[in-house]
Structure 1
Amino acid sequence: MFKKTLLASIFLVTTSVAGLAVPAYAQDATQAQIVQDYELTQANKALVTKAYQELFGNADLTALDRYWADEYIQHNPSMTDGREAVKSFLQGLGIDSWPTREVKFERVIAEGDLVMVQTAQPASGTSPGTVIADIFRVENGKIAEHWDVIQQIPADAINPRTMY
């Protein structure tokens, strides 16, 4: 009797602990849904990095027409909503004279419809180097919304580590 009770207790504890190890979303989601979510995340990540390279690395303003939604929402306080606002802003920064370059993504993190890229812009002329974290929301295969954090790289950092 003791062996049966002990085995039953071990079984109950094992199955209870095993149930805790499975993430909550996985308990309800089917394997197919998990795969579909993963594939969507990867597609959004590829879309954002390609769009970013074409716009900022290749200095190609027509990338906005290909990859940004008509009703694009901008959270940067220096800009208004819409693709035309981004075009005007970048033209004001002199994008037409930017050299083309391969964008070096320090980090690319994605989950579902959100993609975050971190890049470091080198110093040029009187402009200091900057580290930029851009967060994009993708909807229906287009960049629909954007947030960013831009921080100058100090010339006199207290520690020797990079900001990226």
Structure 2
Amino acid sequence: MKITRLLALGACCILICSARAAKSHTSMDTITNKQRVLSFYKQIVGQRKTELIPQFIVEDYKQHSPAVKQGRVGIAEMVNYLKALPSPPESAKSPIVRAIQDGDLVVTHLDVQFMGRRMAVIDLFKLKDGMLTEHWDAIQPLPDESGKTITATNGTTEIDHNASAEDSRVIVDQFYKAIVNKRSAHQFIDTVYVEHDASVIASGVGLAGYLSEPDRSVKIHRLIAEGDFVVVQSQFCKGEKTFVFYEIFRVAKGKIAEHWSVEQVVPDDVKAEDMF
């Protein structure tokens, strides 16, 4: 198995323990899509139950991760590989940091330790009638963040369900329209917002300035919102490279209050559109 496939394992779900309860034995018509995804992580990946794959994955499952085969066979291949590895201890912390649901779409944000490497991962699943039908992802290796107060994945995890998802979506949509149209976007960002992207921090120009760099062109594919959290799935070109880019925004009082991101370069032998 190639190292790219190992990274895909890290992305797709990886050594999940039971830290996040997923109501796997609840009637399928009473659980949310988010619970269904978490149950998939727990039973299929964490507990390596390949026999349950047909209960979670449609036969024509569409896979946008270039290192994983299409359909159920790709999931089965990854889980069978995991079976050859030591199981995580019962006390292991779940790598799932955030889970966001918007209709038939579910996003998970993971902090993964795999084969001595730490990676930030964002998975995006589409579901129909409780079955996973489609998957996208991005994986970004992380540096040592020991001793840092703000890291790539820490910060707010709980969704404020009293907040309007549509209002949050509008704020992020307006922010990105300003970015794409080369207008000022600083007014959408709180003066004390928390930035988790090390590249944005290192740039010294803030989030709006970083995303507006002259050599960066952006294309938005999806905005996914739940409560005060909004996920943006996009691609950007920089130099001769195209990147898959996922961002998570937390909105508070009409401003962007917190921001995380995961980016991955599109492999040279892969069409960018195939990853969206």
- Whether TM-score is above 0.5 comes out as yes
- Which string of whole-angstrom CA distances, capped at 9 and with x for unpartnered residues, describes residues 39-81 of structure 1? x8x6111111111111222232233222111110000011221
Residue 110 of structure 2 corresponds to residue 119 of structure 1: yes
RMSD: 2.6
Residue 74 of structure 2 corresponds to residue 85 of structure 1: yes
How far did residue 141 of structure 1 move? Answer: 1.4
Match of 2:48 in 1: 59
Query: Match for 1:75: what amino acid?
Result: H
74-83 vs 99-108, which moves further = 99-108
Match of 1:109 in 2: 100
Residue 139 of structure 2 corresponds to residue 150 of structure 1: yes
User: Quick one: structure 1 residues 96 and 114, their matched pair in 2 at CA, closer, same or farther if it must change by over 3 Å?
Assistant: same
How far did residue 98 of structure 1 move? Answer: 3.5
Work out which of the two has the higher radius of gyration on C-alpha atoms and give 1 or 2. Answer: 1
128-137 vs 101-110, which moves further = 101-110
- Which string of whole-angstrom CA distances, capped at 9 and with x for unpartnered residues, describes residues 5-50 of structure 1? xxxxxxxxxxxxxxxxxxxxxxxxxxxxxxxxxxx8x611111111
How far did residue 162 of structure 1 move? Answer: 1.8
How far did residue 160 of structure 1 move? Answer: 4.9
How far did residue 121 of structure 1 move? Answer: 1.4
Q: What is the SS of the residue equivalent to 1:80?
A: coil
Q: Distance in 2 between matches of 1:98 and 1:62?
A: 19
Q: Distance in 1 between matches of 2:78 and 2:40?
A: 17
Which of 85, 96, 106 is matched with 2:84 structurally? 96
Point out the structure with the larger helix share: 1
User: Quick one: structure 1 residues 141 and 123, their matched pair in 2 at CA, closer, same or farther if it must change by over 3 Å?
Assistant: closer
Alpha carbons 1:59, 1:99 under 8 Å: kept: no
Q: Distance in 2 between matches of 1:98 and 1:65?
A: 25
Structure 2, unmatched stretches of 5+, are 1-28, 154-276
Q: Note the 1:11-30 alignment, pairs <5 A.
A: none
Match of 2:225 in 1: none
98-107 vs 108-117, which moves further = 98-107
> Larger relative CO (CA 8 A, sep 6+): 1 or 2?
1
How far did residue 114 of structure 1 move? Answer: 0.1
Query: Match for 1:96: what amino acid?
Result: A
Query: Match for 1:97: what amino acid?
Result: L
Matched length: 122
Q: Distance in 2 between matches of 1:141 and 1:63?
A: 14
User: Quick one: structure 1 residues 156 and 49, their matched pair in 2 at CA, closer, same or farther if it must change by over 3 Å?
Assistant: closer
**TM-score for the superposition, normalised by structure 1:** 0.63
Match of 2:57 in 1: 68
Query: Match for 2:97: what amino acid?
Result: E
Alpha carbons 2:95, 2:112 under 8 Å: kept: no
Q: What is the SS of the residue equivalent to 1:76?
A: coil
